[in-house]
A and B are shown apart, each in its own frame.
Chain A
Amino acid sequence: MTLSLYISGDTTARALGADALVAVLEVQAAAADVPLNIIRSGSRGAFWLEPMLEMDWQGKRIGIGELMASDAEGLLATLLDNPESHPNYLGEVAELPWFANQHRLTFARAGEGDPIDLNTYRALGGLQGLERALSLTPDAVVEEITDSGLRGRGGAAFPAGIKWRTVLGAEADQKYIVCNADEGDSGTFADRLLMESDPFQLLEGMAIAGIAVGATQGYIYLRSEYPRAQLMLNEAIDAARLAGVLGERVLGSDKSFDIEVRLGAGAYICGEETALLDSLEGKRGMVRAKPPLPALEGLFGKPTVVNNVLTLAAASTVLAEGAAAYQAHGTGRSRGTLTVQLAGNIARGGLIEVPYGISLREIVFDWGGGTRSGRPVRAIQVGGPLGAYLPEAQWDLPLDYEAFAQAGAMLGHGGVVVFDDTIDMAAQARFAMAFCVAESCGKCTPCRMGSIRGVEVIDKLVANPADTAQKILLEDLCDTMEHGSLCAMGGLTPSPVRSALRYFPEDFGLAAEAS
């Protein structure tokens, strides 16, 4: 009998040694003349356990984690004989508290099977959303999205239903669905994981969007740093076309929809939707002034839905399970689930999908297990490089867009980066400005010129903390950037700077402000 094993083929697992593990197992199988089938599933996102091996054992899907090729002597024999005897045996994967306490909708299939096998996708409940969408009127599909409360997962959290409604209502000979897969925030990897572990879900979500708004062409704008995702997407697109899921008659309907993957060229700003559209059009990626909204004049001037990978993927869940089911998760105006990506100095890093409303402290300590260095956590940056640094006083904030906004922070794309007590927050503030220097598109003055002056002013301030004029200038500069910038790049760069200055003044050599 053939032995079937699941080992992730995603970028992180491979970086941690999954390919070597596969090679060792294949050598052992050949030597023992054991028929072996290794399925390169996608990762489930528990990167702290990768490389992880899974197999069906006595009716359960069990796992063995942190399995390095160097420690794999006699591994095959153990697996054949009694995997439970392996020192790294994890038991039933789904029962691990790290997974069991999550609430996986979007990432439910991640790690289950071959990501580019359409039959597996169907068997795991895929395409139900698309089938349902095809049975509804476009208006009803948009209504479902609106009722689900789904908001954009790229960071701005704009209600997807309103955006889709606008595109649906726009008169045009051509409309587009554009997937923003230029995942550039520090500490984020959810989009990549989805594209590598469950690419069909994204294609399905885009097809639903296309059917909803009347678009026949979709583009995935993928950052060039994701070659594996590119491969998986293209193979999935080929398979979907072959099976009639994409193309002229989607699932035998009279609707057509096709998708093409386009690569970025390494610019963070091209994750901003209008710069992305410029880049997709073959131009230099420059932020466009709004209006016109991309929903009305987007790609090549045509009405365009621009949504993040996770937003589009969630659309398939909404359609498959119904707006009410999706809407039942979450809190306040933040409905559904949030995909948190735990990174930085963290003991158990990886992807956690939970309903909105859980606190940051639960995420970092219950799931993350505190710092990897074992030192105390000092600051947590949420929402990418433009997100605020949060001190302990704010770790009980519920993960909710409005609650974070009220605290001068943002959830963004769900990236959580943890720092221990060795961090120099003045250096982090300087880095925020320096990041903006490197990544500004250069169009608007506050961002183009303000960022470099920001670096200079912080240097002067740190060199001479007694120079209060520099602190006032830095605060004024932050105001100018926040109020004056054309897009969120320059507008939000002050956020990490201000939070560092406010919560960690001692790192700048300043006394704490009397509150």
Chain B
Amino acid sequence: MLQFYQPQPDFGTPLRESEQTVSLTIDGVEVTVAEGTSVMRAAADAGVKIPRLCATDSLEPFGSCRICLVEIEGMRGKPASCTTPVAEGMVVNTQSDQLAKVRRGVMELYISDHPLDCLTCPVNGDCELQDTAGEVGLREVRYGFEGANHLSADKDTSNPYFTFDASKCIVCSRCVRACEETQGTFALTIDGRGFDSKVSAGQDELFMDSDCVSCGACVDACPTATLTENSIIDAGVPEHSAITTCAYCGVGCSFKAELRGNTVVRMTPNKDGHANEGHSCVKGRFAFGYATHKDRISEPMVRDSIDQPWRTVSWEEAIAFTAARFRGIQEQHGRNSVGAITSSRCTNEEVYLVQKLVRAGFGNNNVDTCARVCHSPTGYGLKTTLGESAGTQTFASVAKADVVLIMGANPTDAHPVFASRMKRRLREGARLIVIDPRQIELVDTAHIRADYHLPVNPGTNVAILNALAYTIVEEGLQDSDFIADRCEEPAFAEWLAFIQEPQHSPEASAEFTGVDPELVRGAARLYATGGNSAIYYGLGVTEHSQGSTSVMAIANLAMLTGNLGREGVGVNPLRGQNNVQGSCDMGSFPHELPGYRHISDAATRSLFESHWGVSLDPDPGMRIPNMFNAAVAGEFRGLYCQGEDVAQSDPNTHHIEAALSALDCLVVQDIFLNETAKFAHVFLPGSSFLEKNGTFTNAERRISRVRKVMPAQAGMEDWEVTQALANAMGCPMTYSHPSEIMDEIAALTPTFAGVSYERLDEQGSVQWPCNTESPTGTPIMHVDSFVRGKGYFGITEFVPTEERANRRFPLLLTTGRILSQYNVGAQTRRTANTVWHEEDVLEIHPHDAEQYGISEQDWVGISSRAGDTVLRAAISERVKPGVVYTTFHHPVSGANVVTTDNSDWATNCPEYKVTAVHVEKVAEPSQWQRRHREVHRLQTSLLAEAGRE
């Protein structure tokens, strides 16, 4: 349904929650509200809008604009309704001649220092100053306009996405407060005093030179045209909008896509979105331009071999070509010779269809997903210990945490919107423990300092987690009642004996972890005794040879201290991609049908068999690494790769490239000709998140709608393409809308039984499990008992990785993310976000840099037993001596040329986070990088030929 554009409703001051209610009368209307509510918000409840400028319901009341003054019987003067809390029996008048006069008087002052260029102003018609001038009935400005003013103040256009026009500023401090309260960066301030007061980024710097992270909170908060999106300045205010879900990280922010016709002119964070509650980051808020980038490919293409030019074909031909190739391969090499990789960036419905195509159409279980290479150990570890392959909490839970433990995650870069929520709680006084080899921003940032930073050596997570558990047990800090009540006794007894072994003491394990035992003991005491303790972890936990063991050790810690099953606690994986939770839920793993039910389970299988009308292979299929090994061996010959760039993102690039080159038919479905597509025979142009309907599931199990706001560039949404391919391969699919796919998922999956598009429209979003027991969803899991019944303490023996620093490879390379770029960068590199991160660099500690004779900006050769690449050096004390660090957002960086094929013992999740390397100053890029450039040039020319046809 078309939603005409209108600003989101604003109640003036934040919602207050209280069991106590207060009744009062406002303009003769009686209203009852929660204690602590402002008079302004109570008035809104009573249907009275009090004019205002400095108040907005996302920020604490400030009381500076003096427009919202009211009269309260028995109270002196004219209190500001935003800062005055309600009281029982209060009688408030919001309208009187005196109030009207004061409001007009204040507005007259504002306008005496404001350019009267409304008709040519970019926010004409969408401006609170304009609206309020109208509301208070300002008719003249008797001061004239020749007095002191700021009309010639300079514009700051340094940020690529928004402009700061100080001449329009009313100094309401909403931007400053948004930067503090909402984002927590403290980049903005008011400089000067009195009439000279002005908004200043940093120490009177340009926005781009300040600490600003371009989250857009200030732009959102600005009531005038002072901070305006450049897209609005260029295109004008939107005329309609739709609520949708961000396609970047696993936070899954809800956005209003605001459009003029089919052009998105702005993405505005949705205040009613439960994941983000009106906040955003530089990616979701601004970096959507990739969707209309010139590199988008909008027609299907095929070729017989990868050294041939692409041939642009019709959808019919592309589908027929693919179906024939796959059938041919299967006829010649057997049913198991083909498979598919699902994408964590596609919708639940699209992922579901691909796994259905594999199981019902290909007739095997060779389906895997990119979660294999990120959070598969989370699935394994949490399922084993707690019984469900998902995080236990809702994001809002962090507001009730007293102790936050972050391990192997860098939320301010990788999950920035959740990080802001976390930072708010930390500023309120929650204590912080960070376990990370690198000094992430949260260790020491504005108004936040970690109580404990344990700079653990890469690859020794299990050792440090065991040391924490050892300390808690040794010092008798465990929650024995919780354990007795909620956990399996024999397993716990066995674990207890195990953990008390002397090698687990902080002192003994320091040999491996490199962490001062006193720090470990202090952190253990704090975690165990600090009140509600919550663990947040990321790929720094999972992407190890003992990733699954670490996840189990984390769950053990939470169970040991009773930190599960309520708000403020829990075990929270921070998911990397927008729908990595969903793609796992949808049965993307070779051994699991949707809802994490094993393929060998006959009852589950028969449920799907009867619904799909086929018989299913009871044996698990190949995992991604198995597929590549089999491809190199010639046994696996056809791969359908949905929206994933394995050539860039998977470890040991040489091996991946060999495997891809060996395939007879590689089908890539993507919006860009990515690195993997350079090895492809069929290119199926994908649809971006703006071009299709569906759902994403975020890290808190929240299922949110993705809504189509523009036509699919290639004419078909991804699910329609998969459906066409399935039909061509004799696997009938007849969905007319993704809602029907969701209905099928709900019918076949107990944890999704209550999910439907109707419910999503009604609630906005739903956290699974959603079924008859919890019809509106489940924010907190394992409340009274664990999903598996009793919690299971798994034995977590520390086994050092084989990937160890030695004489030949003396340093350990670990990898991570940066705020402005996302994953392989396919999207963000095609936006102005590149101004923040033009290239990946190698962070190296000054001591190591000195030892290896490396200076800032030098080319550094990095070699491991798998391969070598070259990056520029960035000397930094964020890493500790002996550890180097990089990101992998740019293909040419070749970070994964260096990473090895070591992987998690349980799930084969690659050990991206530990690679023993040698570094040296070099003069030129590596051989792989030179070859990569050549391949890139060649493939680009082959693509250009397709364009000429």
Contacts and interface: CB of A to CB of B under 8 A. Distances in A.
Nearest to A478: B105
Interface stretch (B3-11, B185-193, B734-742): B185-193
Contact of B190 (A289, A442, A445): A442
Contacts, number: 110
Contact of B102 (A269, A448, A484, A486): A484
A269 B106 contact: no
B105 A440 contact: no
B113 A449 contact: yes
Nearest to B53: A445
Contacts of B113: 449
B40 to A, nearest CB: 12
A280 interface: no
A479 B195 contact: no
B194 A439 contact: yes
Interface string A458-480: 00000000000100010011011
Contact of B110 (A289, A442, A443, A449): A449
Given A289-B83, A291-B85, A440 B193 contact: yes
A469 B142 contact: yes
B107 to A, nearest CB: 9
B194 A438 contact: yes
A233 B724 CA distance: 86
9 residue pairs, one from A and one from B, having the closest CB atoms: A442-B197, A480-B105, A289-B63, A289-B83, A440-B194, A449-B109, A484-B66, A452-B195, A456-B147
Contacts of A437: 194-195
B98 A483 contact: yes
A486 B66 contact: yes
Interface in B765-794: none
B933 interface: no
Nearest to B82: A289
B77 interface: yes
Contacts of A442: 171, 190, 192-197
Nearest to B60: A289
Question: Which of A440, A457, A480 is packed against the most chain B CB atoms within 10 Å?
Answer: A480
A473 B102 contact: no
B884 interface: no
B2 interface: no
A289 B80 CA distance: 9
Interface string B88-104: 00000000001001100
Contact of B78 (A290, A440, A469, A484): A484
Nearest to A489: B194
Nearest to A269: B193
Given A451-B194, A476-B105, A445 B147 contact: no
Contacts of A451: 194-195
Interface string B50-63: 00000000000111
B69 interface: yes
B264 to A, nearest CB: 36
A479 B101 CA distance: 9
A14 interface: no
B112 interface: yes
Nearest to B110: A445
B143 interface: yes
Contact of B63 (A444, A452, A473, A477): A444
Contacts of B106: 445-446, 480, 484
Interface in A247-296: 267, 269, 284, 286, 289-291
Contact of A480 (B83, B109, B196): B109
B727 interface: no
Interface string B329-346: 000000000000000000
A457 B102 CA distance: 18
A192 B755 CA distance: 72
B911 to A, nearest CB: 45
A453 interface: yes
A477 B107 CA distance: 12
A452 B147 contact: yes
A484 B82 CA distance: 14
Given A289-B61, A444-B64, A483 B147 contact: no
Contacts of A290: 83
B84 interface: yes
Contacts of A444: 63-66
27 contacts: A286-B190, A289-B61, A436-B194, A440-B193, A440-B194, A441-B194, A442-B192, A442-B196, A442-B197, A444-B63, A444-B64, A444-B65, A445-B64, A445-B171, A446-B105, A449-B109, A449-B112, A453-B147, A456-B148, A476-B101, A479-B102, A483-B77, A483-B78, A483-B102, A484-B69, A485-B66, A486-B64
A111 interface: no
B109 A445 contact: yes
A291 B170 CA distance: 24
Contacts of B101: 476, 479-480
Nearest to A491: B77
B62 A289 contact: yes
Main SS at interface, chain A: helix
Contacts of A479: 101-102, 105
Interface string B619-633: 000000000000000
Question: Which of A269, A284, A437, A449 is packed against the most chain B CB atoms within 10 Å?
Answer: A449
B135 to A, nearest CB: 16
B406 to A, nearest CB: 26
A443 B109 contact: no
Nearest to B170: A445
A9 interface: no
Contacts of B197: 442-443, 448
A184 to B, nearest CB: 14
Contacts of B109: 445-446, 449-450, 453, 480
Interface in A392-439: 436-439
Interface in A159-210: none
Nearest to A459: B147
A110 to B, nearest CB: 35
A436 B85 CA distance: 29
Question: Which of B64, B102, B108, B147 is packed against the most chain A CB atoms within 10 Å?
Answer: B64
A221 B279 CA distance: 38
A286 B83 CA distance: 15
Contacts of B62: 289, 443
A469 B197 CA distance: 29
A442 B191 CA distance: 10
A458 to B, nearest CB: 12
A291 B105 contact: no
A284 B64 contact: no
Contacts of B66: 444-446, 484-486
B193 A441 contact: yes
Interface in B167-221: 170-171, 173, 189-190, 192-197
Contacts of A291: 83-85
Contact of A486 (B63, B189, B196): B63
Interface string A128-170: 0000000000000000000000000000000000000000000
Given A286-B190, A480-B105, A483-B77, 16 more contacts: A284-B190, A291-B84, A436-B194, A442-B192, A443-B64, A444-B65, A445-B64, A445-B106, A447-B194, A449-B110, A449-B112, A449-B113, A453-B147, A456-B148, A483-B78, A484-B105
Contacts of B105: 446, 476-477, 479-480, 484
Contact of A473 (B142, B148, B189, B195): B142
A477 B101 CA distance: 10
A61 B666 CA distance: 108
Nearest to B191: A284
Nearest to B104: A480
A439 B82 CA distance: 25
Nearest to B61: A289
Contacts of B148: 452, 456
Contacts of A456: 143, 147-148
Contacts of A443: 62, 64, 173, 197
A33 to B, nearest CB: 58
Nearest to A453: B143
